[in-house]
Amino acid sequence: MTKLSVNVNKVAWLRNARGGNNPDVVETARLCELFGADGITVHPRPDERHIRRDDVYALRPVVRGEFNIEGYPAEALLKVIEDVRPDQVTLVPDSPEQLTSNHGWDIAANAGFLTDVVARLKAAGCRVSIFIDADPRQAEAARRVGADRVELYTEPFAQLYPENPLEAVRPFVETALMARSVGLGLNAGHDLSLQNLAFLKRQIPWLDEVSIGHALIADALRMGLRETIRHYKTCLEPQGRIF
Protein backbone atom coordinates (compact mmCIF):
# COMPACT_ATOMS: atom_id res chain seq x y z
CA MET A 1 0.00 0.00 0.00
CA THR A 2 1.35 3.39 -0.99
CA LYS A 3 1.56 5.74 2.00
CA LEU A 4 -0.05 9.17 2.01
CA SER A 5 2.02 11.94 3.59
CA VAL A 6 0.17 15.23 3.99
CA ASN A 7 2.24 18.36 3.46
CA VAL A 8 0.97 20.97 5.95
CA ASN A 9 2.85 23.95 4.49
CA LYS A 10 -0.36 25.54 3.19
CA VAL A 11 -1.89 25.34 6.66
CA ALA A 12 1.09 27.27 8.03
CA TRP A 13 0.86 29.77 5.17
CA LEU A 14 -2.78 30.48 6.05
CA ARG A 15 -1.90 30.90 9.73
CA ASN A 16 0.95 33.27 8.92
CA ALA A 17 -1.28 35.44 6.73
CA ARG A 18 -3.22 36.58 9.80
CA GLY A 19 -0.83 36.02 12.69
CA GLY A 20 -1.61 34.09 15.84
CA ASN A 21 -2.11 30.35 15.71
CA ASN A 22 -5.26 29.81 13.66
CA PRO A 23 -5.26 27.38 11.99
CA ASP A 24 -3.07 25.38 14.33
CA VAL A 25 -0.47 23.48 12.29
CA VAL A 26 0.25 20.92 15.00
CA GLU A 27 -3.43 20.18 15.61
CA THR A 28 -4.06 19.89 11.86
CA ALA A 29 -1.22 17.39 11.55
CA ARG A 30 -2.67 15.39 14.43
CA LEU A 31 -6.08 15.34 12.76
CA CYS A 32 -4.61 14.32 9.40
CA GLU A 33 -3.15 11.21 11.00
CA LEU A 34 -6.30 10.57 13.00
CA PHE A 35 -8.28 10.64 9.73
CA GLY A 36 -5.96 8.16 8.00
CA ALA A 37 -2.84 9.92 6.74
CA ASP A 38 0.30 7.81 7.09
CA GLY A 39 2.59 10.71 7.85
CA ILE A 40 3.29 14.43 7.69
CA THR A 41 5.60 16.40 5.40
CA VAL A 42 7.00 19.88 5.99
CA HIS A 43 9.22 22.04 3.80
CA PRO A 44 10.72 24.80 5.95
CA ARG A 45 12.26 27.61 3.92
CA PRO A 46 14.80 30.16 5.14
CA ASP A 47 12.27 33.03 5.09
CA GLU A 48 9.75 30.96 7.14
CA ARG A 49 6.92 32.09 4.85
CA HIS A 50 4.95 29.01 5.85
CA ILE A 51 6.49 26.33 8.07
CA ARG A 52 8.68 27.85 10.75
CA ARG A 53 11.64 26.36 12.56
CA ASP A 54 9.56 26.20 15.76
CA ASP A 55 6.85 24.24 13.91
CA VAL A 56 9.34 21.51 13.06
CA TYR A 57 10.27 21.04 16.71
CA ALA A 58 6.63 21.18 17.81
CA LEU A 59 5.53 18.57 15.27
CA ARG A 60 8.17 15.97 16.10
CA PRO A 61 6.54 14.61 19.29
CA VAL A 62 3.04 14.78 17.78
CA VAL A 63 3.56 12.94 14.49
CA ARG A 64 2.88 9.25 15.08
CA GLY A 65 3.42 8.06 11.53
CA GLU A 66 6.28 9.04 9.28
CA PHE A 67 7.74 12.53 9.63
CA ASN A 68 9.30 13.80 6.40
CA ILE A 69 11.29 17.03 6.20
CA GLU A 70 12.07 18.29 2.72
CA GLY A 71 14.19 21.17 1.57
CA TYR A 72 17.54 22.39 0.37
CA PRO A 73 20.29 21.00 2.63
CA ALA A 74 21.77 24.27 3.82
CA GLU A 75 23.61 24.10 7.12
CA ALA A 76 20.77 25.70 9.10
CA LEU A 77 18.30 23.06 7.92
CA LEU A 78 20.75 20.23 8.47
CA LYS A 79 21.18 21.30 12.09
CA VAL A 80 17.41 21.27 12.63
CA ILE A 81 17.21 17.81 11.07
CA GLU A 82 19.97 16.51 13.33
CA ASP A 83 18.07 17.86 16.34
CA VAL A 84 14.67 16.51 15.28
CA ARG A 85 15.76 13.28 13.52
CA PRO A 86 12.77 12.77 11.23
CA ASP A 87 12.07 9.41 9.66
CA GLN A 88 12.86 10.74 6.20
CA VAL A 89 14.62 13.71 4.64
CA THR A 90 13.86 14.67 1.04
CA LEU A 91 16.60 16.73 -0.56
CA VAL A 92 15.22 19.41 -2.89
CA PRO A 93 17.38 21.76 -5.03
CA ASP A 94 15.39 24.92 -4.24
CA SER A 95 16.82 28.40 -4.09
CA PRO A 96 15.46 30.57 -1.26
CA GLU A 97 13.58 32.76 -3.78
CA GLN A 98 11.52 29.97 -5.37
CA LEU A 99 7.78 30.06 -4.84
CA THR A 100 7.64 26.27 -4.95
CA SER A 101 9.78 23.34 -6.09
CA ASN A 102 9.98 23.26 -9.87
CA HIS A 103 12.79 20.88 -10.83
CA GLY A 104 14.83 17.97 -9.58
CA TRP A 105 18.53 17.67 -8.88
CA ASP A 106 21.23 17.34 -11.50
CA ILE A 107 22.85 14.69 -9.34
CA ALA A 108 25.99 14.17 -11.39
CA ALA A 109 26.80 17.88 -11.24
CA ASN A 110 26.32 17.88 -7.44
CA ALA A 111 27.62 14.39 -6.67
CA GLY A 112 30.29 15.34 -4.16
CA PHE A 113 27.99 17.65 -2.21
CA LEU A 114 25.10 15.19 -2.18
CA THR A 115 27.29 12.25 -1.19
CA ASP A 116 28.47 14.15 1.89
CA VAL A 117 24.96 15.33 2.80
CA VAL A 118 23.44 11.86 2.40
CA ALA A 119 26.13 10.33 4.61
CA ARG A 120 25.58 12.99 7.28
CA LEU A 121 21.81 12.45 7.29
CA LYS A 122 22.14 8.68 7.45
CA ALA A 123 24.45 9.10 10.43
CA ALA A 124 21.55 10.96 12.08
CA GLY A 125 19.33 7.94 11.50
CA CYS A 126 17.26 9.36 8.62
CA ARG A 127 16.17 7.69 5.41
CA VAL A 128 17.25 9.94 2.52
CA SER A 129 15.24 10.60 -0.62
CA ILE A 130 16.40 12.82 -3.50
CA PHE A 131 13.94 14.89 -5.55
CA ILE A 132 14.45 14.14 -9.26
CA ASP A 133 12.91 14.83 -12.64
CA ALA A 134 11.56 11.94 -14.70
CA ASP A 135 14.96 10.82 -16.01
CA PRO A 136 16.29 7.28 -15.48
CA ARG A 137 19.85 8.63 -15.38
CA GLN A 138 19.02 10.60 -12.25
CA ALA A 139 17.75 7.46 -10.52
CA GLU A 140 21.02 5.68 -11.31
CA ALA A 141 22.99 8.65 -10.01
CA ALA A 142 20.92 8.77 -6.81
CA ARG A 143 22.01 5.25 -5.97
CA ARG A 144 25.65 6.21 -6.53
CA VAL A 145 25.50 9.05 -3.99
CA GLY A 146 23.97 6.73 -1.38
CA ALA A 147 20.28 7.70 -1.39
CA ASP A 148 17.65 5.27 -0.14
CA ARG A 149 14.84 6.59 -2.33
CA VAL A 150 14.05 9.08 -5.04
CA GLU A 151 10.98 11.31 -5.21
CA LEU A 152 9.60 11.91 -8.68
CA TYR A 153 8.78 15.56 -9.41
CA THR A 154 5.33 15.05 -10.90
CA GLU A 155 4.22 18.52 -12.04
CA PRO A 156 4.99 17.72 -15.73
CA PHE A 157 2.83 14.59 -15.41
CA ALA A 158 -0.02 16.60 -13.87
CA GLN A 159 0.14 19.25 -16.59
CA LEU A 160 -0.03 16.79 -19.51
CA TYR A 161 -2.38 14.30 -17.86
CA PRO A 162 -5.71 15.88 -18.97
CA GLU A 163 -4.58 15.89 -22.61
CA ASN A 164 -2.74 12.55 -22.88
CA PRO A 165 -2.50 10.43 -19.70
CA LEU A 166 -0.37 7.65 -21.18
CA GLU A 167 2.16 10.01 -22.70
CA ALA A 168 2.21 12.03 -19.49
CA VAL A 169 3.11 9.04 -17.34
CA ARG A 170 5.54 7.31 -19.72
CA PRO A 171 8.82 8.98 -18.55
CA PHE A 172 7.77 8.52 -14.93
CA VAL A 173 7.24 4.79 -15.42
CA GLU A 174 10.64 4.52 -17.12
CA THR A 175 12.33 6.33 -14.24
CA ALA A 176 10.42 4.28 -11.68
CA LEU A 177 11.57 1.08 -13.35
CA MET A 178 15.17 2.25 -13.23
CA ALA A 179 14.85 3.17 -9.55
CA ARG A 180 13.48 -0.27 -8.76
CA SER A 181 16.20 -1.98 -10.78
CA VAL A 182 18.98 -0.27 -8.79
CA GLY A 183 17.30 -0.97 -5.45
CA LEU A 184 15.87 2.44 -4.63
CA GLY A 185 12.54 3.11 -2.95
CA LEU A 186 10.15 5.39 -4.79
CA ASN A 187 8.18 8.46 -3.72
CA ALA A 188 6.28 11.02 -5.78
CA GLY A 189 4.98 14.52 -5.27
CA HIS A 190 3.94 17.88 -6.69
CA ASP A 191 0.56 18.72 -8.23
CA LEU A 192 -0.86 15.28 -7.50
CA SER A 193 -4.63 15.46 -7.00
CA LEU A 194 -7.83 13.46 -6.87
CA GLN A 195 -7.97 13.73 -10.66
CA ASN A 196 -4.60 12.15 -11.46
CA LEU A 197 -3.41 10.21 -8.41
CA ALA A 198 -5.20 6.90 -9.00
CA PHE A 199 -3.94 6.76 -12.59
CA LEU A 200 -0.34 7.31 -11.47
CA LYS A 201 -0.71 4.59 -8.84
CA ARG A 202 -2.07 2.10 -11.39
CA GLN A 203 0.85 2.73 -13.72
CA ILE A 204 3.45 2.57 -10.92
CA PRO A 205 1.88 0.23 -8.35
CA TRP A 206 5.10 -0.11 -6.33
CA LEU A 207 5.12 3.55 -5.24
CA ASP A 208 6.17 3.72 -1.59
CA GLU A 209 4.80 7.14 -0.75
CA VAL A 210 3.15 10.25 -2.16
CA SER A 211 3.45 13.67 -0.55
CA ILE A 212 0.48 15.96 -1.23
CA GLY A 213 -0.21 19.40 0.15
CA HIS A 214 -1.75 22.13 -1.98
CA ALA A 215 -4.48 20.11 -3.72
CA LEU A 216 -5.39 18.18 -0.59
CA ILE A 217 -5.74 21.29 1.58
CA ALA A 218 -7.76 23.01 -1.16
CA ASP A 219 -10.07 19.99 -1.41
CA ALA A 220 -10.49 20.00 2.36
CA LEU A 221 -11.98 23.50 2.19
CA ARG A 222 -15.03 22.09 0.41
CA MET A 223 -15.14 18.46 1.61
CA GLY A 224 -13.63 18.64 5.08
CA LEU A 225 -10.33 17.13 6.14
CA ARG A 226 -11.64 13.70 7.12
CA GLU A 227 -13.50 13.11 3.84
CA THR A 228 -10.67 14.51 1.75
CA ILE A 229 -8.09 12.19 3.27
CA ARG A 230 -10.46 9.27 2.79
CA HIS A 231 -10.74 10.10 -0.93
CA TYR A 232 -6.97 10.37 -1.35
CA LYS A 233 -6.44 7.06 0.42
CA THR A 234 -9.01 5.49 -1.90
CA CYS A 235 -6.99 6.69 -4.90
CA LEU A 236 -4.01 4.74 -3.56
CA GLU A 237 -5.83 1.41 -3.33
CA PRO A 238 -4.89 -1.16 -6.01
CA GLN A 239 -8.05 -0.36 -7.99
CA GLY A 240 -8.45 3.15 -6.66
CA ARG A 241 -11.17 5.41 -7.94
CA ILE A 242 -10.31 7.96 -10.61
CA PHE A 243 -12.31 11.08 -9.72
Residue 241 predicted with pLDDT over 90: no
State the pLDDT at residue 101.
61
> Bridge-partner residues for 106, per DSSP?
none
What's the alpha-carbon Rg for the chain, to the nearest Å?
17
State the pLDDT at residue 23.
97
Question: Across the chain, what does the average pLDDT equal?
Answer: 95
State the pLDDT at residue 11.
98
State the pLDDT at residue 99.
53
State the pLDDT at residue 98.
55
pLDDT band at residue 96 under the 50/70/90 scheme: low
Gap between the Cα atoms of 239 and 243, Å rounded: 12
State the pLDDT at residue 122.
98
Gap between the Cα atoms of 122 and 85, Å rounded: 10
Catalytic, 70? Answer yes
Percent of the chain with pLDDT over 70: 96
State the pLDDT at residue 103.
79
State the pLDDT at residue 180.
98
| pTM for this entry | 0.94
Catalytic, 43? Answer yes
Residue 102 predicted with pLDDT over 80: no
pLDDT band at residue 171 under the 50/70/90 scheme: very high
pLDDT band at residue 208 under the 50/70/90 scheme: very high
Catalytic, 103? Answer no
* Residue of 43, 50, 66, 209 with catalytic role: 43
Residue 108 predicted with pLDDT over 60: yes
* Residue of 33, 66, 70, 209 with catalytic role: 70
* Residue of 33, 50, 66, 190 with catalytic role: 190
State the pLDDT at residue 238.
83
State the pLDDT at residue 104.
93
Span 71-80, average pLDDT = 96
pLDDT band at residue 97 under the 50/70/90 scheme: low
State the pLDDT at residue 195.
97
Span 28-57, average pLDDT = 97
